[in-house]
């Protein structure tokens, strides 16, 4: 058979198998983007308008489409609703637990409940069920945007995405047919470079440093929060409402992980302002509680975050039955956190304050956010994103039937490995081609947003 006929035959076979690359040309869409941003953020304008204003400023003032991308997961999933599906998704891999907002800065160094210092995922606010490739797509786009901001050329940036995907697929293959994912973790002994440094930073932190940063001792030897521009007192009524919600929070913790009631004694509350990008506008409070003893040096800080419906649900509404999480969005995030992390924080739970759902967890003294600006060379980027691929594989693998077969009744590591097997190059091409096109779309959308912001268009 002539070579050109063989190539055509292969192309036809790819089309028949459904492995055509799901790419659509990027295009400016200013009116649509501005409307999407307004519709998503407007509900929060009445509760914390200054926080929404801060969000808009962060997304517009920093010359970074990546920061804009962080704050607009809702636009990404609006597009996932209409853009072509992947050729590497079947019924078994179309509804797995997703982190939902997978990007470089939702990774970090931390300490798990068994005192292991690790590199892992730090945020599950947008967690939901969906096709596994959506986490890969969202991370791939973030890699391209961050790499361009850091000065990498497009070829090198695409190589980094391929390395991320290789690491993901290789680790999924390692997990197939074993339970290794249940004990797998990235720590200083099996990492290098920026990621190893990040884990070391986490291990160098301490509870006393965190308490010193946010609290002070009164004359009565009682610890309370400091008041600062980003740590504000709450009204008496808000204090009472949160205090009243503590019992339902405690009840949300499994009895096997629940401490004595005195552990959760509430000592002080502050409204936390200015944290994150996408969640700005939602309520976030810090709660100081007694901790394991009446001593002041082992007090704990809880962070409670207002939760809404997942952005992923925009694309696949109802795919995660509300019965799974009792129609309580804080419970959804709590379940996902436990599903995708090993040795989870025993203070993870949820509650409702004034009819608003909240997720609760410890403000960890040991968490260090990932700084993508440290990835100044291709080799540093390749190294770090290889570890990121392993983290995402672990997230997907341990949250399948290993966690709760009633939610995910399959072995995701087996299903993903089998569906990609023999077509790895085509799979990587599909994700890379999508990411290249969508990163261009993000840049168009970012410019549309900045223009509207500078012109004083109402954005919330």
- Could you read off the pLDDT of 145-171 as tens digits, one per residue? 999 999 999 999 999 999 999 999 999
Residue 119: per-residue pLDDT:
98
Mean pLDDT on 317-325: 97
Asked if residue 225 and residue 148 are part of one domain, the reply reads no
Work out the pLDDT band at 24, boundaries 50, 70, 90: confident
Residue 1: per-residue pLDDT:
34
Please count the structural domains in the chain.
2
Outline where DSSP puts E strands in 238-291.
Answer: 266-272, 284-289
Residue 214 in 3-state DSSP?
helix
Does residue 100 lie within any of the structural domains?
no
**Res 12 pLDDT > 70:** no
Asked if residue 239 and residue 171 are part of one domain, the reply reads no
Asked if residue 418 and residue 353 are part of one domain, the reply reads no
Question: Which pTM was predicted?
Answer: 0.94
Asked if residue 51 and residue 28 are part of one domain, the reply reads yes
Asked if residue 179 and residue 33 are part of one domain, the reply reads yes
CA 43, CA 37: separation in Å to the nearest integer? 11
Mean pLDDT on 50-72: 95
CA 82, CA 266: separation in Å to the nearest integer? 47
Domain stop point among 339, 368, 397: 368
Counting residues of the chain whose pLDDT is more than 90, the rounded percentage is 93
Residue 3: per-residue pLDDT:
34
Asked if residue 173 and residue 308 are part of one domain, the reply reads no
Does residue 108 lie within any of the structural domains?
no
Q: Tens digits of per-residue pLDDT, 252-307? A: 999 999 999 999 999 999 999 999 999 999 999 999 999 999 999 999 999 999 99
**Res 18 pLDDT > 70:** no
CA 45, CA 66: separation in Å to the nearest integer? 24
Asked if residue 15 and residue 68 are part of one domain, the reply reads yes
Who has greater pLDDT, 200 or 8?
A: 200
Domain stop point among 368, 395, 427: 368
Query: CB-based burial of residue 372 (10 Å sphere; 0-12 exposed, 13-18 middle, 19+ buried)?
Result: buried
Mean pLDDT on 226-239: 97
Does residue 98 lie within any of the structural domains?
no
Asked if residue 249 and residue 159 are part of one domain, the reply reads no
Domain stop point among 333, 351, 368: 368
Does residue 227 lie within any of the structural domains?
yes
Does residue 73 lie within any of the structural domains?
yes
Mean pLDDT on 134-143: 98
Work out the pLDDT band at 13, boundaries 50, 70, 90: very low
CA 77, CA 136: separation in Å to the nearest integer? 13
Asked if residue 402 and residue 315 are part of one domain, the reply reads no
Asked if residue 148 and residue 21 are part of one domain, the reply reads yes
Does residue 459 lie within any of the structural domains?
no
Work out the pLDDT band at 23, boundaries 50, 70, 90: low
**Res 15 pLDDT > 60:** no
- For the chain, what is the mean pLDDT? 94
Counting residues of the chain whose pLDDT is more than 70, the rounded percentage is 95
Mean pLDDT on 452-458: 98
Does residue 262 lie within any of the structural domains?
yes
Does residue 118 lie within any of the structural domains?
no
Q: Which domain holds residue 319?
A: 203-368
Asked if residue 181 and residue 273 are part of one domain, the reply reads no
Residue 62: per-residue pLDDT:
82
Residue 315: per-residue pLDDT:
98
Work out the pLDDT band at 5, boundaries 50, 70, 90: very low
**For 309, phi and psi rounded to 5 degrees?**
-65, 150
Asked if residue 323 and residue 264 are part of one domain, the reply reads yes
């Amino acid at each position: 058979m002539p070579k050109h006929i063989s190539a055509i035959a292969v192309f036809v076979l790819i089309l028949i198998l459904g492995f055509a690359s799901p790419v659509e040309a990027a295009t400016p869409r200013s009116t649509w983007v501005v409307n999407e941003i307004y519709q998503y953020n407007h509900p929060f304008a009445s509760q914390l308008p200054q926080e929404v204003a801060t969000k808009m400023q962060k997304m517009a003032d920093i010359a970074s489409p990546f920061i804009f991308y962080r704050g607009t997961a809702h636009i990404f999933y609006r597009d996932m609703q209409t853009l072509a599906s992947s050729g590497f998704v079947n019924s078994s891999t179309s509804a797995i637990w997703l982190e939902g907002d997978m990007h470089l800065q939702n990774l970090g160094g931390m300490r798990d409940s068994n005192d292991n210092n690790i590199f892992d995922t730090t945020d599950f606010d947008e967690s939901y069920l969906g096709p596994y490739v959506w986490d890969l797509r969202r991370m791939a786009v973030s890699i391209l945007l961050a790499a361009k901001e850091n000065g990498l050329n497009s070829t090198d940036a695409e190589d980094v995405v391929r390395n991320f995907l290789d690491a993901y697929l290789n680790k999924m293959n390692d997990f197939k047919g074993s339970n290794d994912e249940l004990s797998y973790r990235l720590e200083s002994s099996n990492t290098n470079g920026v990621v190893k440094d990040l884990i070391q930073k986490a291990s160098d932190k301490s509870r006393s440093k965190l308490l010193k940063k946010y609290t002070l001792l009164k004359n009565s030897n009682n610890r309370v929060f400091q008041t600062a521009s980003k740590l504000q007192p709450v009204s008496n009524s808000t204090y009472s409402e949160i205090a009243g919600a503590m019992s339902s929070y405690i009840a949300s913790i499994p009895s096997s992980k629940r401490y004595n009631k005195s552990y959760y004694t509430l000592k002080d509350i502050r409204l936390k302002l200015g944290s994150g990008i996408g969640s700005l506008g939602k309520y976030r409070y810090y709660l100081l509680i007694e901790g394991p003893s009446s001593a002041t040096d082992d007090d704990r800080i809880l962070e409670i975050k207002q939760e809404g419906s997942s952005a992923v649900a925009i694309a696949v509404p109802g795919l995660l039955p509300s019965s799974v999480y009792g129609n309580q969005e804080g419970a959804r995030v709590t379940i996902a956190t436990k599903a995708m992390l090993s040795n989870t924080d025993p203070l993870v739970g949820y509650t409702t304050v004034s009819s608003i759902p909240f997720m609760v967890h410890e403000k960890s003294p040991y968490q260090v956010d990932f700084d993508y600006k440290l990835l100044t060379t291709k080799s540093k980027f390749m190294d770090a994103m290889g570890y990121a691929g392993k983290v995402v594989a672990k997230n997907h693998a341990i949250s399948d039937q290993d966690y709760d077969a009633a939610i995910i009744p399959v072995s995701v590591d087996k299903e993903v490995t089998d569906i990609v097997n023999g077509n790895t190059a085509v799979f990587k091409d599909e994700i890379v081609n999508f990411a290249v096109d969508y990163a261009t779309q993000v840049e168009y959308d970012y410019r549309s947003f900045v223009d509207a912001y500078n012109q004083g268009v109402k954005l919330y």
